[in-house]
Structure formats: C-alpha cells, structure tokens
Amino acid sequence: MAAASATRLLNNGCRIPLLGLGTWKSDPGVVGKAVSAAIDAGYRHIDGAYSYMNEAEVGAAVKKKVEEGVVTREDLFIVSKLWCTFHAPEDVKPSLMQTLTALQLTYLDLYLIHFPVGFQKVLGELFPMRKGRVLVSDADYVDTWRAMEVLVDEGLVKSIGVSNFNISQLERLLSVARIIPAVNQVELHPYLTQPELVEFCASRDIALTAFSPLGSPGRTVLNDSADPKDLLKDPVVEVIAKNHRKSSAQVLLRFHVQRNIATIPKSVTPARIQENAEIFDFELMDEDLQSLLTINKNWRVCQLTMLQDHQFYPFNDS
C-alpha cells in the first residue's frame, strides 16, 4: 500500500479507496477548499451526505478538479447518504436525484441508508421535532432497501450500503436482499472497536467504513456523550505514534487501513488533510494493533439517544 488511493475490493467487484475525506460539519465556504486540497493530496474518496447541507459546494470542487485534468470522474469514489426523512420507498429516487443534481454528477459510487430509523417528512427540516421529540416514522428499512436496489438497476449508483446498522439489522436485511450491502459505515476507533460487528461484516463480505476515526475531537453538534474523551491524547496512542515518528491521528487512521477498513477523517485544514494522507509509508506491528484494541471503552460519540425508544434504534444491544 503505497498511496492515498489504496483500495479494497467490494463484494460487487467495485473498489473503495481506503482513505476518504469526511465532510460533515465542514461549512459552506470552506468545504470546497477542503475537497480540492484532499484531491491534490491524493484522496480519491469523498464522504458526503444530503444532511451535511454542503453537497453543492462539494460537487463544484470535484467538477473543477475534473475540468483541470487533475483527476477524472472515474478516478473518484463519491459517497452520499439517504436521509431519514426519505425512507418511504417513493422518496428514495427523488432524494438521490436531488443529491446528484447538487453534486453535478450522473452517478454515485456508493449510496448509503444513513441511519436505520426513519423520520416523518416535514419540508425543510432534517430533524422534525414536536414537543421536544423527533417525529419518527414507522418506515421499514427493508422497504427502503428495495428502492435502493432499483437505483443500482438504473445505473444511478454503482454500489449501495447502509450506515449505523447493527448485526441483527444486517441479518434481517441479508435475509431478503437481492443486492447484498457493499458497505456498512459505522463509528469505529480504538475506544469503540466493535469486534463482533467487524467479525460479522468480514464473514458476510460487507466492507466497513470507519467514521469519526479520530473520536470527533471538539465536536459540539449532536454530541450527547455524557463522558467526553480525547482519543488523540490517549497515552497508548501517543506512545505508538512516538515509536513510529508519526502523529496520533496518523496512527488512528493506519489502525483501520491496515485492517482493510476504509476510513474518512474530516478536516478543513490543509496541513491536516495532508497529514492524514501520509499513512501509507509505515506499518503498525501486531503488538501495536493489539494494544490499540485493548483500550476499547465502548465509547460512542454518535449516539442519537433521542431515538433510543424506536424499534430500529441500532445501539441498544451494544
């Protein structure tokens, strides 16, 4: 693995670059520059979503890099996610078309169901709330999945997958799916190692993408963790970083790619975007990987506890 464009094979024959740029919380006005810097630094995978509210600027930056001849569209792996308000099967294709229009693309490389819980559709609201509670729906992600499969048939997306799905939800989906999910994108880092989920996905040839790989430092949005932690300052991580003359962030990212797990660190800082790409020129030893696995605390940044009463809330059994 010598480059930021190193890939892993998906179960449908497509390849996913192991390193991608996260774009959540990357504000309009800066996200485009981040995408440009990432492509210049060798990233070929951009992780986005309708709910990040910045897809038009991401798309404009991608288009410019293609026009400049830095990359071709086919070099890139562009990901987006179906938001919870669009789980009704009839809303799936219109939602994808909205994303494709914003991105100025004719197809996506990967489209994910962002979260297994559906919400009611209220114009202009990502989290429709009434009396302090999210207006959830009873949409079943299995029905949503059938509409996702049609998008592959129509050539609008190369691969489909899910995000934040637990093992029983994956098993339920697999029992009816015509197209097996290519990817499950989940929170994964040494404080949340999820060994059973990693093992299950490996056994079913579902690739994992690790989100919040740095532990989402400094996050204020949707952060309901009662117990904030600084993974970048963990002593075990710091010692390994020192031994390899790398940064804590580079060790945390290498931890995934060395296990064939894609990862999507977010940054809008060009120096960090570059730093996060420099993870293909060193190798963690088995002892390093074992040490990183032993600091697991089952600590989840992305909990969405306001949804925990819903039958499809994915984190009650972990």
Ligand X SMILES: NC(=O)c1ccc[n+]([C@@H]2O[C@H](COP(=O)([O-])OP(=O)(O)OC[C@H]3O[C@@H](n4cnc5c(N)ncnc54)[C@H](OP(=O)(O)O)[C@@H]3O)[C@@H](O)[C@H]2O)c1
Residue 28 or 154: the one with the smaller Cβ distance to ligand X is: 28
| Residues 168, 317 contacting (CB under 8 angstroms) | yes
| One residue of 185, 234, 288, 312 binding ligand X per CB under 6 A | 185
**Per CB under 6 A, does 95 bind ligand X?**
no
Residue 6 or 38: the one with the smaller Cβ distance to ligand X is: 38
SS3 266: strand
Binding piece for ligand X, criterion CB under 6 A, among 66-74, 194-202, 213-221, 284-292:
213-221
What the block records as the tokens of 72 is 């071709």
**Per CB under 6 A, does 272 bind ligand X?**
yes
The residue number with the shortest CB distance to ligand X is 22
| One residue of 17, 22, 116, 190 binding ligand X per CB under 6 A | 22
From the candidates 43, 50, 52, 191, which is the catalytic residue? 52
Query: Minimum distance from CB of 315 to ligand X (Å)?
Result: 12
Binding piece for ligand X, criterion CB under 6 A, among 67-75, 122-130, 172-180, 258-266:
258-266
Q: How many residues line the site for ligand X (CB under 6 A)?
A: 30
Sign of the C-alpha dihedral computed for residues 312, 313, 316 and 318 taken in this order:
positive
| Residues 239, 259 contacting (CB under 8 angstroms) | no
The 3-state secondary structure of 68-99 reads CCCCCHHHCEEEEEECHHHCCHHHHHHHHHHH
**Per CB under 6 A, does 151 bind ligand X?**
no
| One residue of 116, 128, 190, 215 binding ligand X per CB under 6 A | 215
Query: Minimum distance from CB of 69 to ligand X (Å)?
Result: 27
**Per CB under 6 A, does 276 bind ligand X?**
yes
What the block records as the tokens of 118 is 């559906």
The CB-based long-range contact list for 119-127 (8 Å cut-off, 24+ gap) reads: 119/84, 119/85, 119/87, 120/85, 121/85, 121/86, 121/88, 121/91, 122/85, 125/85, 126/51, 126/53, 126/83, 126/85
| Residues 157, 96 contacting (CB under 8 angstroms) | yes
Task: Indicate if 52 belongs to the active site.
Answer: yes
- What is the rounded CA–CA span in Å between residue 273 and residue 126? 28
Binding piece for ligand X, criterion CB under 6 A, among 9-17, 147-155, 193-201, 205-213:
205-213
- What is the rounded CA–CA span in Å between residue 231 and residue 191? 7
**Residues tagged active-site:** 52
Binding site for ligand X (CB under 6 A): 22-25, 47, 114, 163-164, 185, 211-218, 232, 247, 249, 264-269, 272, 275-276, 302
